[in-house]
Amino acid sequence: MLEQFKVPEDIAVHVQEDALRETVTSVFKKMGVNDADSELATDVLVKADMRGVETHGVSNMLRSYVSGYGSGELNNDPNWRITRETPATANIDSDRGLGIIVTPKAMEIAIEKAKNVGVGMVTIHNSRHLGMASYHAMMALEHDQIGLCVTSCPPGVLPTFGAEPRLGTNPIAVAAPADKEPPFVFDAATSTVAGNKLGLARRLGNKLYPGWVADADGIPLMEEVDPPTPGYEGRASSFLLPVGGNRESGSHKGYGLACIVDILGGILSGGGFGMVPGRPNFGHMVAAYNIEAFMDTAEFKRTMDDFLRMLRETTPAPGHARVLFPGLPESEEEEARAEHGIPFHPEVIEWFQDITSELDIPYNLT
Amino acid sequence: MLEQFKVPEDIAVHVQEDALRETVTSVFKKMGVNDADSELATDVLVKADMRGVETHGVSNMLRSYVSGYGSGELNNDPNWRITRETPATANIDSDRGLGIIVTPKAMEIAIEKAKNVGVGMVTIHNSRHLGMASYHAMMALEHDQIGLCVTSCPPGVLPTFGAEPRLGTNPIAVAAPADKEPPFVFDAATSTVAGNKLGLARRLGNKLYPGWVADADGIPLMEEVDPPTPGYEGRASSFLLPVGGNRESGSHKGYGLACIVDILGGILSGGGFGMVPGRPNFGHMVAAYNIEAFMDTAEFKRTMDDFLRMLRETTPAPGHARVLFPGLPESEEEEARAEHGIPFHPEVIEWFQDITSELDIPYNLT
């Protein structure tokens, strides 16, 4: 995570994982979600906070879920069902159920299929936000499988050469097990920066880096931007750029990857792509690959160790202490937060005080 | 393709597809490759030229294949075989066979598996260069399937924060059918720019764009570079950057995607990753997803039409005539080249004159 997105240590309020889980589970229960699903939803959210993925953790997402349940936009008791199935595939109608609850169930189906025929791939339509995509991909790890998750989001990103947002931030997550090293866990939007990071930068008054946004005409801003400037305020809040920024620096790659996510997570689920007028929000795809279906699992994990260690031990460029691999900083953060708690902004604590009072739940965080 | 990579029209020599196929097939036969495989290899190479993908066509690749067969590095009669198999997966030992010949056979297996169980996924180890990755992905289209291909290449790309190349350009290709629109075909290196485009830029003396390369210390060059400059000449020829350029502009995304390709195309094939000392070159992975296993195929294709048309009809940003989607310019190029021939640089024509003379093949290109 870029330094500018961290909650400053001098104002952070540290919350212990167990207390947070208790409170979040109570909130979901009050929304009418059953006990098991409330615990599952809590696990997805708190795992994000533990791994330092604030954007998809409790502080950033829970209030929008509460509001979705309150308005009836989210179904608190979805009758999700499989609409089509083969030995390696399934398609699920999520019945407006929250993605953080239905997607783990889809991933369980994919994992079972991968055990049976080598690969499992499950699409989900008529769903909602699925939280941290890598949560679902990581479910494969304990089964000695590689996990994958993509989600087709509402539009906010410009296609290369375009002046209208056409694609979601459409993240891709892949998790693969190692032996002694922490698992490889990649989880990233196909835009240069995730939408809520832009919101965060605006709130904190931070600068924007080259290739993050376009101006109001759709021209990529390839220099640093100190907000507020034209192209940052107002309309351009939706004008995220695909990773690469502009064509010369490779934005057609981020653009194409975003399309792939819309195809696999949206169109192939039967729920349509992000820009479909009136599409109810999100489509997802999860997949699991059984390592033993391709090769000896122990050898795979040993080779992963070699690979990840080699990346970690790469000579760093000037100004950098070390080279990371995807999943390494998150794994370290998880250890640190297990010991010291999760650092929240005081505003988040205030929100918890308000919502627990409103829902008549005991407040136990601080 | 960026304008600077096109062969200037005033020096281009136009060659007809049929004549080119005849000559290229004769070259492969002279290398000791059997008739059917010579025609297959020709199809992969010439398809790249027809679609305007010069970097992976005849002009750029055939001479290296000829040299590989000549030195014995490439096996002209590989006894490739399946080393492990399940209903949805297989792993293939390519026996040092050229990837452009073995990968289509692997894709046929994947397509058959997808017909039977919904998904087919085949890894290939002990292989060599597979040409234009999207060729293999596109094989799925006529079967109403989505195709995917990745290839784990020898290292030349810096990891984010790193000063040593650790990853290949590791491309990802995905093809998905539409109804009336040309198919969606994405095919891109996970580095900002492909290695041989850098070579081409150097040969033509073209400038390098922000985020293409790092200097000799591993510091990403985020401004335009007019060669020759430090970091471009010499050592830095290997210092490609992952798409995004530097961390602030999203290079950890290109870096992570390159790792995923090394894991799925390299490690999962049992052949190891790009940096494994002495690894014989390339590992691949192809996959096929049967659309009908998830939803109605006709509905999928209609939705793809809507999606691709919407992208195509996006209001362009100033300075751009229109918005493209992946596969659209290549499809248009293929039509144009069918009519006007393939524009080659005179140097390529000279090479053909030399090699046909050397191999005692009739010269028929001009």
Q: Which residues of B touch A84 (CB under 8 A)?
A: 293-295
Task: Indicate the helix (H) or strand (E) that contains A76.
Answer: none
Nearest residue of A to residue B219, measured between CA atoms: A317
* B249·A186 Cβ contact <8 A: no
Longest pairwise C-alpha distance within chain B: 56
Residue A251, judged by CB atoms within 10 A of its CB (0-12, 13-18, 19+), counts as buried
- Across the interface, which of A219, A259, A300 has its CB nearest the CB of B186? A259
How far apart are the C-alpha atoms of A345 and A364, rounded to whole Å?
Answer: 16
Task: Give the residue from A227, A254, A230 showing the smallest Cα distance to A241.
Answer: A254
Q: Looking at chain B, which residues constitute the CATH 3.30.1370.60 domain(s)? A: 79-192+240-326
How far apart are the C-alpha atoms of B109 and B117, rounded to whole Å?
Answer: 12
* pLDDT over threshold 50, residue A73: yes
Does A163 reach chain B within 8 Å, measured CB to CB?
yes
Cβ-Cβ contacts under 8 Å between A and B: the total is 305
Please tell me the distance in Å from B35's CA to the nearest CA on chain A.
31
* A256·B315 Cβ contact <8 A: no
* B263·A317 Cβ contact <8 A: no
Does B241 reach chain A within 8 Å, measured CB to CB?
no
Please tell me the distance in Å from B205's CA to the nearest CA on chain A.
16
* A248·B2 Cβ contact <8 A: yes
- Across the interface, which of B315, B318, B326 has its CB nearest the CB of A219? B318
pLDDT > 70 in chain A, percent: 94
Query: pLDDT tens digits, residue range A44-65?
Result: 999 999 999 988 999 889 999 9
DSSP A92: E
Does A201 reach chain B within 8 Å, measured CB to CB?
no
Please tell me the distance in Å from B294's CA to the nearest CA on chain A.
6
Task: Write out the DSSP string of B193-237.
Answer: S-HHHHHHHHHHT--B-TTSBB-TTS-B--S-B-SSSTTTSGGGG
Q: Could you identify the residue written with the tokens 């490889």?
A: A184
Task: Indicate the helix (H) or strand (E) that contains B59.
Answer: helix B58-71
Does A273 reach chain B within 8 Å, measured CB to CB?
yes
Residue burial A86-107, b: 16+ Cβ < 10 Å; e: rest: bbbbbbbbbebbbbbbbbbbbb
Q: Which residues of A touch B275 (CB under 8 A)?
A: 307, 310
Does the predicted interface ipTM exceed a cut of 0.85?
A: yes
For position A4, what pLDDT does the model report?
Answer: 64
Q: Which residues of B touch A162 (CB under 8 A)?
A: 311, 314-317, 323
Residue burial B123-159, b: 16+ Cβ < 10 Å; e: rest: bbbbbbbbbbbbbbbbbbbebbbbbbbbbbbbbbbbb
Contact (CB, 8 A) for A202 and A237: yes
For position A205, what pLDDT does the model report?
Answer: 74
Please tell me the distance in Å from A170's CA to the nearest CA on chain B.
13
For position B234, what pLDDT does the model report?
Answer: 45
Q: Which residues of B touch A296 (CB under 8 A)?
A: 270
Which CATH topology does B1-77+341-366 take?
Hypothetical Oxidoreductase Yiak; Chain: A, domain 1 (1.10.1530)
Does A146 reach chain B within 8 Å, measured CB to CB?
yes
* pLDDT over threshold 60, residue A184: yes
Query: pLDDT tens digits, residue range A284-319?
Result: 999 999 999 999 999 999 999 999 999 999 999 999
> How crowded is the C-beta side of A43, counted as CA atoms within 13 Å?
14
* B295·A268 Cβ contact <8 A: yes
Task: Indicate the helix (H) or strand (E) that contains A222.
Answer: none
* A163·B314 Cβ contact <8 A: yes
The CA-to-CA distance between both ends of chain A, in Å, stands at: 26
Q: pLDDT 10s per residue in chain B (366 long)?
A: 566 667 888 999 999 999 999 999 999 999 999 999 999 999 999 999 999 998 899 988 999 999 999 999 999 999 999 999 999 999 999 999 999 999 999 999 999 999 999 999 999 999 999 999 999 999 999 999 999 999 999 898 999 999 999 999 999 999 999 999 999 999 999 999 987 777 777 767 778 889 999 988 899 999 888 765 544 544 445 589 999 999 999 999 999 999 999 999 999 999 999 888 777 678 999 999 999 999 999 999 999 999 999 999 999 999 999 999 999 999 999 999 999 999 999 999 999 999 999 999 999 998
Contacts for B170 with CB less than 8 Å, ≥ 6 apart = B150, B151, B152, B153, B157, B189, B190, B191, B257, B258, B261, B262, B265, B274
For position A236, what pLDDT does the model report?
Answer: 46
Amino acid at B227: P
For position A177, what pLDDT does the model report?
Answer: 98
Preferred mutation among B4, B253, B312 to probe A, highest tally of A CBs within 10 A: B253
* pLDDT over threshold 50, residue A231: no
For position A125, what pLDDT does the model report?
Answer: 96
Q: Looking at chain B, which residues constitute the CATH 1.10.1530.10 domain(s)? A: 1-77+341-366
Dihedral of CA A247/A323/B214/B170: which sign?
Answer: negative
How far apart are the C-alpha atoms of B33 and A14, rounded to whole Å?
Answer: 67
Task: Give the residue from A46, A51, A17, A7 showing the smallest Cα distance to A326.
Answer: A51
Mean pLDDT score of chain A? 92
Q: Which residues of B touch A322 (CB under 8 A)?
A: 161
Contacts for A62 with CB less than 8 Å, ≥ 6 apart = A24, A27, A45
Q: Which residues of B touch A239 (CB under 8 A)?
A: none
Task: Indicate the helix (H) or strand (E) that contains B276.
Answer: none
Please confirm whether the linkage preceding B277 is cis (ω < 30° from 0): no
**Bridge partners of A82?**
A92
Does CATH number 3.30.1370.60 belong to domain B79-192+240-326? Answer: yes
